[in-house]
A and B are shown apart, each in its own frame.
Chain A
C-alpha cells in the first residue's frame, strides 16, 4: 500500500472525521440540493459546492498536520513529499465533483459548457487550497470554522457574493482559470519547501479532531502553558485558596473540598475578567438568537463536567483522601460548580436585560435581529442538569468522549434548528418541563440520582481510569 493511500485512510478511519461528517451533513445536504432543485441561473445556487471546497480543504488537511508532526514524516523516505500529493489528489477530486454541478446550468451551448466546467473546477480548486492554508499554518480550526463560516455566510448574503462568484465562473472564464492555476502553482511551491516537514516534526499540534485524544490535548495545553510562564494562576488566587484550606483540620472534609476547588478552578478564577467578557458575549449572541438560546444553559453543565476529568474521584494525585473523603469532596465540587453556573446564568440574563434596552435592532437580507432578554429562570437549568451530567460521566466514564461527541452534535443541531427554523418550540419544551414539574422535584430527583451514582462509584468501583 502506498504512503498516499495510508494517508487517505485518515478520512474514514479517524473517529473525529466522522464527528465532522455528522456535524456537516445538514449544511452539505442544503448546499448539494440547492443547485439540483433550482436551475435558475444568476441566483448563486451553483456556487455553494464551489465555496464549500474551502471547508473541505480545511478539514481534509487537518489530519495531515498530525502526520507531519510525527518523526517518521521527517525521517522515512517519501514521507516528506506525501503531503503535497495528498493535498493535490483531494483538491483535484473536490474540484471535479464541485464543477459537475454546472452540468445542469441553463443556456450553456457548444464549447461553452466544457469551458464553464473548467472554470468551476479551478474556482473550486482555489477555494480548496485557500482552506488548506489555515489548516497548515496552525490557525485554530474552531476559530477558522466558527468565525470564517458565519462571516462568509452573512457577508455573502449581504453583498450577494454568491451571485458575483457565479457570474465570475460563467462570464470571466479565463481569469478564473488563471487564478486557479496560479493558486495551484503557489501551493505546489509552498508545499515543496524543505523546511515544511522540519517545521512540524515533533511539534505540538492540536485541532478539532483532537477532542478524542485526551493525552495530546494535555500535552498541547502544557506546551502552551510552558510558553507563557507568567500566566495563571495569579499569586492572590493561590494564597486565597491555600488560606481557605488551612482553616480546616488536616483530615476534615473542608480542607479537601477547598483543595479540589483550588486544583480544578484556580486557572479559571485567575481569568475572572475573561469570564465576565464571556458572559457579555453569551448575552449578546444568545440575546440576538432570541428565546431559543435556553438550551445552551442546559448543555453548559455538560461542558464543565467533561472538563473536570472526573476530579477528584479518579485522581491518583498524591493527596491522601480515602474513598469517603473523595465522596464528600466530589459532592462539594458538584454543588459549587452548579451554584457558580447558576450565578453565571443570572449574570448573562442580567446583562441581556440591560443590553436589550441599549443595543439597536438591525436587519440583514430581510431578517430582523432584535436582542431579547434571556429568562432568568434558566438559572435553574445548571442546578438541575449538572448533577445528571455528572452522574452520566461518573457511570460511563470510559465512554466520556462519545458522550462529548453526542453533546457536540446535539448542540450543533439545536443551533441549526434554532437559527434556521427560528421557532420557539425548544423553549416551549424546556419551559413546559420546568413548569409542569415543580423545580423542587426536578432538583431533588437529579441530585438524588447523582448521590446514588457517586456513592456507588466511591464504595464499589476502582478509583482510577
Chain B
C-alpha cells in the first residue's frame, strides 16, 4: 500500500530486456523533500528504474506507484508535477531555443516566467540558436530549464550535468540547492560525477546489475566509513594494527592509512592509545565509499598489516 507521505513506492520491481535482467526485485520508497543520489555503473539499471517511475517502462513483475497512482496510469495531472532530464536529451531540433521554451511552456499552467528569465541569464542560454545546432552542454542547459520551468514537485535528473563544463556544473549545483529550498520538492539525481552529487544529496541509492545494493541516508553512510591515518607517537609503527573492520590498509613513510567500516571514533582512539599510536579520522568522499560498496570489499580478518 502506498503511504500518503510517499511520492514513489516501488516493490518487487523486475524488468528484463531479452537476456538482460535490467531490474531484479527492486524495492524503494521515496519521501517528499529528499534529494536522492542514484548511483551505479553503466548498465546498472538506473535509467530503467527512473523510466518506470514516470511510466515510460512497464514492469514485468512488481509495482511502481508515483504520486499514489500506478505509474502506467499516470496522466497529465501527475506527470505535470514531474520534471525529467534524461541522458539522450531528446529535443525538437528544428525549433529555435526560444520557440522550444514557448512550446513546452504551453503544456504547463504554472510555468514560472521569472524563473525562466533568471535561468536564461545565469546559464547563458542562446535563445536565438537552432536547438539542433546547440553544443551538448547548451542542449543540456536547455533541457534542464524545460524540466524546472514549471517548478515540479518531483525532479528526475538522469545524468544532468555530464555535458556541462566545471563552471556550469557549479552553477547547476547552486540551482539545485535553490530548488530544494522548498522542503516539499523531491529530486532524484543519477550521475557519475560523484564529487558533485555528494554536495547536494541526503539519501544514497547504489545499484548494481539491476539490484539495489545500498539505500540509506547520506550522513549515515558517511559515518559508516572512515579513513584513519595511524602514526606512532614514538618509534616505529607496530607491524600489526589490531583494528576491527579494516577494509584496506596502506603503509608509507612510517604511517598507515586504513579504510574502516562501522567503527566508532572513540573505539579507534582507545585502540590507538593502547598501541602508543595517534590517529587522525576523516570521512571518506562518496567516490571512495561507492567503490567500496560496489567493489564489495569485505573487512580484513584479524589485524591489518
Tell me which residues across on chain A come within 8 A of B147, comparing CB atoms. Answer: 318
Asked whether B78 lies within 8 Å of A322 as measured between CB atoms, the reply is yes
Asked whether A318 lies within 8 Å of B104 as measured between CB atoms, the reply is yes
Counted as pairs of residues, one from A and one from B, with CB atoms less than 8 Å apart, the total is: 113
Partner of A238, one of B77, B85, B99, B132: B99
Partner of B132, one of A226, A250, A464: A226
Asked whether A250 lies within 8 Å of B133 as measured between CB atoms, the reply is no
Closest to A263 in B: B92
Q: How far is the CA of A316 from the CA of B85 in the complex (A)?
A: 10
B82 interfacial by beta-carbon distance below 8 Å: yes
Q: How far is the CA of A238 from the CA of B92 in the complex (A)?
A: 13
Binary contact readout B96-132 vs A (1 if CB under 8 angstroms, 0 otherwise) = 1001001110111100000000000000000011111
A25 interfacial by beta-carbon distance below 8 Å: no
Tell me which residues across on chain B come within 8 A of A245, comparing CB atoms. Answer: 106
Tell me which residues across on chain B come within 8 A of A262, comparing CB atoms. Answer: 103
| Least distance between B101 CB and chain A CB atoms (Å) | 11
Stretch at the interface among B67-75, B176-184, B220-228, B265-273: B67-75
Tell me which residues across on chain A come within 8 A of B102, comparing CB atoms. Answer: 238, 242
Asked whether A259 lies within 8 Å of B84 as measured between CB atoms, the reply is no
Tell me which residues across on chain B come within 8 A of A198, comparing CB atoms. Answer: none
A376 interfacial by beta-carbon distance below 8 Å: no
* A318-B83, A460-B58 given; A251·B76 CB < 8 A: yes
Asked whether B56 lies within 8 Å of A259 as measured between CB atoms, the reply is no
Within 8 A of A (CB), among B28-85: 51, 55-58, 72-80, 82-85
Partner of A267, one of B94, B129, B131: B94
Asked whether A462 lies within 8 Å of B56 as measured between CB atoms, the reply is yes
Partner of A322, one of B55, B131, B132: B55
| Least distance between A259 CB and chain B CB atoms (Å) | 7
Partner of B94, one of A233, A259, A320, A464: A233
Binary contact readout A213-255 vs B (1 if CB under 8 angstroms, 0 otherwise) = 0000010011101100100110000100010011000110001
Tell me which residues across on chain A come within 8 A of B57, comparing CB atoms. Answer: 462-464
Asked whether A322 lies within 8 Å of B74 as measured between CB atoms, the reply is yes
Closest to B84 in A: A318
| Least distance between B91 CB and chain A CB atoms (Å) | 7
B90 interfacial by beta-carbon distance below 8 Å: yes
* A225-B93, A250-B108 given; A320·B103 CB < 8 A: no
Closest to A314 in B: B56
Q: How far is the CA of A232 from the CA of B102 in the complex (A)?
A: 16
Asked whether A319 lies within 8 Å of B107 as measured between CB atoms, the reply is yes
Asked whether B106 lies within 8 Å of A259 as measured between CB atoms, the reply is yes
| Least distance between B298 CB and chain A CB atoms (Å) | 37
7 pairs, A vs B, C-beta closer than 8 Å: A255-B107, A262-B103, A316-B90, A319-B104, A459-B72, A462-B58, A463-B55
Which residues of A come within 8 Å of B, CB atoms?
218, 221-223, 225-226, 229, 232-233, 238, 242, 245-246, 250-251, 255-256, 259, 262-263, 266-267, 315-325, 459-464
Which residues of B come within 8 Å of A, CB atoms?
51, 55-58, 72-80, 82-86, 88, 90-96, 99, 102-104, 106-109, 128-133, 143, 146-147
Other contacts beyond A238-B99, A246-B106, A316-B86: 16, CB < 8 A = A218-B93, A221-B132, A226-B129, A229-B128, A233-B95, A233-B99, A242-B102, A316-B84, A318-B83, A320-B79, A320-B80, A320-B107, A322-B73, A322-B78, A323-B55, A324-B75
